[in-house]
Amino acid sequence: MSSARTDTNAGGRWLGLYVLAYLVFLYLPTLLIPLFSFNDSIQAAFPLQGFTLGWYETLYGNPALSGALANSLVIGVIAASGATLCGITVSYMDLYGRSPLAATISAVARLPILIPGVIVGISLLILVNLVGLGPSRIAIVLGHILVALPTTVVVMRSRFAAIPKTIREAALDLGASDWTTFRRVMLPLSLPAVLSAFMLAFLTSFDEFIVVFFLAGTEPTLPLYIWSQLRFPRSLPTVMALGTVILTVSFIIAAAAEILRHRGLGAARRNPA
Amino acid sequence: MSTIVAVRPSPETRISPVFRFAMLLPGGLVTFFLILFALGLVIFLAFRSNDGSLLGAGLTAANFVTVATDPLYWTVTLRSLVIAGLVTLATVATAYPVAYYLAFHAGRRRNLLLFLVTLPFWTSYLLRVFAWKIVLAYNGVLNSAFIESGLWSEPTLAFLNTPAAVVVTLAHAYAPFAILPIYVALDTIPKSLLEAASDLGARPFTSFRRVVLPNSMPGVLAAALVVFVPTVGDYVTPAMVGGPASTMIGTLIQSQFGKANDWPFGAALSVCVMLVILCVVLVARGADRRFGSRT
């Protein structure tokens, strides 16, 4: 018995080392971007040439860049709002609507996971051309709602499912209408998840490249701007400085979303009506 | 008391039609219009011939005949399948021990580790691929690091623009996708099953092989699917680090809607990719039914 226990402990320690190595592999290549963004050389190569903030200075006063940034922010906020609204309603009706239609919508909403981005992109490109929009910011918003939809549905569905059924039933039994129950009881109880879904949807849109590539008209988003700069070896360090900023912001938003996703669940569980 | 309960209409049946309509509207619009209708358009367009107009002309299977008869498309499809298969295999195999550690050994560090492995998922895919470009480039990180350390004197061209570079980059880019499904499957295995196995005299490895592994298969298959699908249609990584020898099916689709400008043919290629994915999903479903002993 005791030998078996030490066996698993030793196994756990080896496994722990493996996980550490895995994390290093996961982060090391990406962390090279911030490292070389401070390097005083046009090439991303060792040995390091000395510390500079010059590449960050090139980010200022660049109208193409700030235009792309503004585009990305506006599109991200609108697309995340749309995706969150859809995620809330789709998962709520999937859980409580008790209709085949609601279940179908919920299943189809998670379908984009099983479609490669390139096909999502071209199918929307055909669609927006058909309805006369053409590649445009609205087209990008539609595409990003689609790309973020599985995430918001999954986040909201697990949150609604974690709220004890008795709470909703109590509200309905006390005479609250469906709308009041939804707005005054279920939505406030899942507010942290709503914020989390919104932030994750925003990040998805903000970083998305594969679909936006097909849908952008004359106003590129930030990832498209980066893509266009990759052709020029001279702008490599600027891209790395920009990439560092984006990675930092993504890190902060993702961390906040993660904290929010788990917040408040304890309260709902502790006082089940 | 019991009669009151029986008479009371169940809350589920009282949903008002207006509320139901309002709640189903946004999701219904997006799913039916943006997903199903748009995919229907792709299938429709695949059976048209290219006459320069948006929806093509006529009704023809010529696009599919070309795909089936031109060896180029077989080569590229096969290459995409091999690359995506290797990436899936590498990703799932390396993710499994991490998920196992998270489920059984992580203890207090579990939430932090879960956060750390999912974080890259939310960072820019383009930047993660770009990072590999600067690692593998001729004047890049790997070459310069090796020269600096004296391992070799000349930079080598062998890293960038190879299918191997595509596999490594994609495996790295999609690594976070695989851990979560496997972890969820492992975490939901009842601990009593493991105790029963050990009480019945199973050695740790036997109980892993006979209890843990079969019970985690649904998670493994889900992980394989979420890695395989985006990689098989990827066109960014082949363009960034792959070079001409690594053209994938996604690259061909993208060029049909860009430079080549033959949308019906690109739609036909897309339909073929979706059929391939459908086959993979069905195989995974079948395997899930065989291994998924819990349901």
Instruction: Convert the pLDDT of each residue in B166-186 to its tens digit.
Output: 999 999 988 888 898 899 889
pLDDT band for A38, please (50, 70, 90 cuts): confident
- Which H or E run contains A234? none
Q: Which of B211, B219, B215, B199 is nearest to B284 (CA)?
A: B219
Interface test with B, best of A126, A138, A142, A203 (most B CBs within 10 A): A126
A225 neighbors A211 (Cβ within 8 angstroms): no
- Residue A3, pLDDT > 70, answer no
- pLDDT of A211: 94
CB atoms B101 and A16 under 8 Å: yes
Question: Which pLDDT tens digit goes with each residue over B198-213?
Answer: 888 888 788 888 888 8
pLDDT band for B54, please (50, 70, 90 cuts): confident
Would you tell me which residues 7-26 of chain A have a C-beta closer than 8 angstroms to some C-beta of chain B?
Answer: 7-8, 11-12, 15-16, 18-19, 22-23, 25-26
- pLDDT of B6: 46
Report angle CA A35, A37, A39 to the nearest 5 degrees. Answer: 75
B182 neighbors B220 (Cβ within 8 angstroms): yes
Enumerate the residues of chain A whose CB falls inside 8 A of the CB of residue B119.
Answer: 251, 254-255
Would you tell me which residues 143-162 of chain B have a C-beta closer than 8 angstroms to some C-beta of chain A?
Answer: 143-145, 148
Average pLDDT, chain B: 85
Distance CA A135, CA A129 (A): 7
pLDDT band for A2, please (50, 70, 90 cuts): very low
pLDDT band for A206, please (50, 70, 90 cuts): very high
pLDDT band for B26, please (50, 70, 90 cuts): very high
pLDDT band for B5, please (50, 70, 90 cuts): very low
Q: Taking CA atoms, what residue in B is nearest to A25?
A: B172
Question: Which pLDDT tens digit goes with each residue over B116-173?
Answer: 888 888 888 888 888 888 888 877 777 777 777 777 777 676 778 888 889 999 999 8
Domains of chain B with bracketed CATH: 78-291 (1.10.3720.10)
Q: Which of B42, B175, B204 sits opposite A8 (nearest CB)?
A: B204
CB atoms A126 and B41 under 8 Å: yes
If one counts every other C-beta atom within 10 angstroms of the C-beta of residue A244, the result is 21
Domains of chain A with bracketed CATH: 66-270 (1.10.3720.10)
- pLDDT of B1: 43
CB atoms B105 and A109 under 8 Å: no
Q: Which of A102, A172, A207 sits opposite B123 (nearest CB)?
A: A207
- Residue B19, pLDDT > 70, answer yes
* pTM for this entry: 0.87
- Residue B22, pLDDT > 70, answer yes
> Mean pLDDT, to the nearest integer, of A55-80?
90
Question: Distance from A41 to chain B by nearest Cα, in Å?
Answer: 12
Say whether A99 sits in a helix, a strand or coil: coil
Distance CA A194, CA A163 (A): 14
- pLDDT of B13: 54
- pLDDT of A58: 81
Q: Which one has a higher pLDDT value, A232 or B257? A: B257
